[in-house]
Amino acid sequence: MYKILFINSLMTDQSKRDFLKKTAGATILAGTLFALSPLPEKLSIKNYLSNKKIKSLSFDSADKSRILVIFYSPYFSYKLLAYYDQLSKELYKNFDVLIVNSFSSMGKICDFSHETLEKIKNFKPDLIISFNHVMNNEIYQSTNCPVFLIEADSYPHTFNDISLMKKNAERIWFGSITNYRISRAQSMIDYLNKDRFILFKNSTSMSPDYDKKPEINISFIGTIILNIFNNNGLTTLIHKNLSNPNKLKEIKKIIDQATLNIDSLTKDDFEKFEFSYDDIFRYISFMNRINTLDNIASLGLKSYCKIEGDINLLNTLQDFPFSVVQNDDILNAKDNENIYNNSKLSINIIYAHAVGNYPWRIPDIMATSSCLVSSKTSALDDDFKKWVDIPQFSNKREAYDLCKKLLENNNLRKEISLKSNLAIKEGKFTFKDRVDELTEIFNLKAIKNNDNYFEYINFQKMK
């Protein structure tokens, strides 16, 4: 049974009690800190720097290893996002686990609360898994174990406090989800030996349910990003001209032109409107997701979306199709698995800035009884072509035609789903595979029992 530690300085004590009353097996205590389990004996790691596989470990007791997982997810509260939910549960089967969701911003210095830093220090991890280098100097100073950095939909130059990475290079290992991303990362982090880079494939722990009759034609789980990344040139430009309808018409015209052919814009266009190529590129990418969902809505779409940003801001450029948003609280793995297994098709629309990879949700869908439909990327063929031809589309019209065809062919859908299940199993795209690899590479000590330690610290308000 999971034991949850829940800290959120933005919540009242009463709201914390109300939440914990709904959480099976939790203990309710007064105050802002809920500590639900004692810590086991101290562990230590030695000689972890010799080569890719750590040759020697020395334990101060016969206990199992302790794993600290740190990530940044500002949009979710007490539930763990499905990816971290699955990873943490698989780790928990073998190790003591502390999960920290840190409130920080990409590329900034992370600032953890005093309570969180003390919890990490006392936990004494034997391995730190940090996504996008959500770390600070205090954590490095209070620990002495390897740090396994995993890039999550971003390149190393956007990581938090990258100067700390170079300063602590002797402790760092780096994980990417595709070989293409590894080669890119190696060129950006030239102070790490190449044998410090590890292929850490997107993975899943989900299972199919072919006995269940799907009630949903097409499901989509994901984010709808409307802020076009806050404070960039395009966002600033729109805000500045909200009271100038003629200027907004000019902006809309140039954006419509870029949507048809971004390379048609000239240097003068960017200088006149004070936004960058990257601003427009991201806007087109984000709007592609919205417009694709809107285009297939008539086929029986049910989407579960977290909206990020200002709908009113988007409405200055085009009307927002509210039909594509129906629920924003589908977060943990079990919720996701139930929806996919209740869907004939599950669509995935990849953001254009996710170059050389694909979202972690794709293996989740492939492991269920739903049939995956995805926007086109060579990374999918690289990883899965051996087992299955994944239905892929290049634009919203192709998405509509492909979904319609598959909805009309039950046998084809099931064939694709079964082959996808096989690809996940034989291709070793499960979190069990990933944890087994980490256990071998870092020579961790695993003990399978129900008494392993688990805590989840929700994100802390920055000082």
Assign 3-class secondary structure to 110-154: CCCCHHHHHHHHHHCCCEEEEECCCCCHHHHHHCCCCEEEECCCC
Q: What is the pLDDT of residue 113?
A: 83
Summarize the confidence of residues 150-161 as an average pLDDT.
Answer: 70
- Rounded Cα distance, 379 and 357, in Å: 6
Whether the per-residue pLDDT at 330 is higher than 80: the answer is no
Summarize the confidence of residues 80-86 as an average pLDDT.
Answer: 90
Residue labelled with tokens 């029992």: 449
pLDDT band at 111 (very low <50, low <70, confident <90, very high): confident
pLDDT band at 268 (very low <50, low <70, confident <90, very high): confident
Domain borders along the chain are: 13-203+432-457, 216-426
Domain 13-203+432-457 class, CATH top level: alpha beta
Q: What is the pLDDT of residue 164?
A: 87
The total number of residues shown for the chain amounts to 463
Local structure of 97: helix, strand or coil: strand
Summarize the confidence of residues 243-249 as an average pLDDT.
Answer: 77
Local structure of 330: helix, strand or coil: coil
Whether the per-residue pLDDT at 10 is higher than 50: the answer is no
Residue 159 backbone dihedrals phi, psi, to 5 degrees = -65, 165
* Token representation of residue 62: 């016969």
Q: Collect all residues with Cβ–Cβ distance below 8 Å to 367 and sequence separation of at least 6.
A: 204, 205, 206, 207, 208, 420, 421, 424, 429, 430
Q: What is the pLDDT of residue 333?
A: 93
Listed ranges 171-180, 200-209, 331-340; the one with the highest mean pLDDT: 200-209
Rounded to the nearest integer, the mean pLDDT of the chain is 77
Q: Is there a shared CATH topology between the 13-203+432-457 domain and the 216-426 domain?
A: yes
Whether the per-residue pLDDT at 216 is higher than 90: the answer is yes
Summarize the confidence of residues 73-90 as an average pLDDT.
Answer: 80
Q: What is the pLDDT of residue 75?
A: 57
Whether the per-residue pLDDT at 458 is higher than 80: the answer is no
Cβ atoms of residues 197 and 166 within 8 Å: no
Whether the per-residue pLDDT at 183 is higher than 60: the answer is yes
**CB-count exposure of residue 285 (10 Å: 0-12, 13-18, 19+):** middle
411 or 41, greater pLDDT: 411
Q: What's the number of CA atoms in the CB half-sphere (13 Å) around residue 443?
A: 19
* Token representation of residue 51: 């080569």
Whether the per-residue pLDDT at 323 is higher than 90: the answer is no
Listed ranges 3-17, 52-66, 338-352; the one with the highest mean pLDDT: 338-352
Q: What is the pLDDT of residue 457?
A: 85
pLDDT band at 277 (very low <50, low <70, confident <90, very high): low
Whether the per-residue pLDDT at 221 is higher than 80: the answer is yes
Q: What is the pLDDT of residue 27?
A: 32
Paired residues of 347 in beta bridges:
373
Whether the per-residue pLDDT at 327 is higher than 80: the answer is no
Whether the per-residue pLDDT at 406 is higher than 80: the answer is yes
Residue 413 backbone dihedrals phi, psi, to 5 degrees = -60, -45
- Rounded Cα distance, 454 and 117, in Å: 17
Q: What is the pLDDT of residue 112?
A: 82
Paired residues of 263 in beta bridges:
none
Q: What is the pLDDT of residue 161?
A: 74
For the domain covering 216-426, report its CATH number: 3.40.50
Q: What is the pLDDT of residue 417?
A: 98
- Rounded Cα distance, 392 and 406, in Å: 12
Summarize the confidence of residues 75-82 as an average pLDDT.
Answer: 69
Q: What is the pLDDT of residue 158?
A: 62
- Rounded Cα distance, 154 and 325, in Å: 26
Nearest to 318 by CA among 281, 285, 352, 290: 290
Cβ atoms of residues 130 and 147 within 8 Å: yes
* Token representation of residue 140: 């490095």
pLDDT band at 165 (very low <50, low <70, confident <90, very high): confident
Q: What is the pLDDT of residue 325?
A: 61
Whether the per-residue pLDDT at 300 is higher than 70: the answer is yes
Whether the per-residue pLDDT at 416 is higher than 90: the answer is yes
Strands (E), 18-146: 66-71, 96-101, 127-131
Cβ atoms of residues 19 and 127 within 8 Å: no
* Token representation of residue 246: 């003629």
Q: Collect all residues with Cβ–Cβ distance below 8 Å to 158 and sequence separation of at least 6.
A: 106, 107, 132
Cβ atoms of residues 336 and 364 within 8 Å: yes
303 or 251, greater pLDDT: 303
